[in-house]
Amino acid sequence: MRNRTLLPSLLVLVLAAPGFAQNRRDARTDPASVARRCVSRSHVIADHTVHRIAARTHRCIRVINGLLAEGSVDQARQTARRCIAGNDKTARLGATRVERLVTACLGILAELEAPEELIHAVQRAGEAAHTAIRSAVNRATQAIEELLSD
């Protein structure tokens, strides 16, 4: 009895599977969905990069303040240089990830013959991500340098 009810269920599943797969494929290749995912991922990369820069800067400022309080100005300057270099590297890596993502997304959208407004949305998201990363690293550098300018 089990096999008789199982067989029709399996047959329905096998016959319907291509339709389900097509629906999933359509969702993945819908230009609006692709653009949405690209914009979202650009924001995530930028947020992650900005967070890493801010966290490093916070740690460095604590260390530099401690070194300055001890009178270890040379060590404080070395620490500041390392922190700034680390933030610059993090910013470069984040910007590179955004650039690669946007390039890949624009290629996919071109293949899908996406409307210009979707292409522009992805480009603007990439530009916004770059601006956020650049602003974060500039603020961090300024904050660290101000500690040593007194």
pLDDT per position as a tens digit, 83-123 = 999 999 999 999 999 999 999 999 999 999 999 999 999 99
Residue with tokens 């101000």: 146
First to last CA, the chain: 87
Domain extents in the chain: 38-148
* The CATH classification of domain 38-148, taken from the options 1.20.120, 1.25.40, 1.10.132, 1.10.287: 1.10.132
Give every CB contact of residue 140 below 8 A, 6+ residues apart in sequence.
53, 54, 56, 57, 83, 84, 87
- In this predicted structure, the answer to whether residue 3 has a pLDDT above a threshold of 80 is no
Q: Angle between the 31-70 and 2-29 helix axes, to the nearest 10 degrees?
A: 70
Residue with tokens 């990069």: 49
Residue with tokens 């590297």: 89
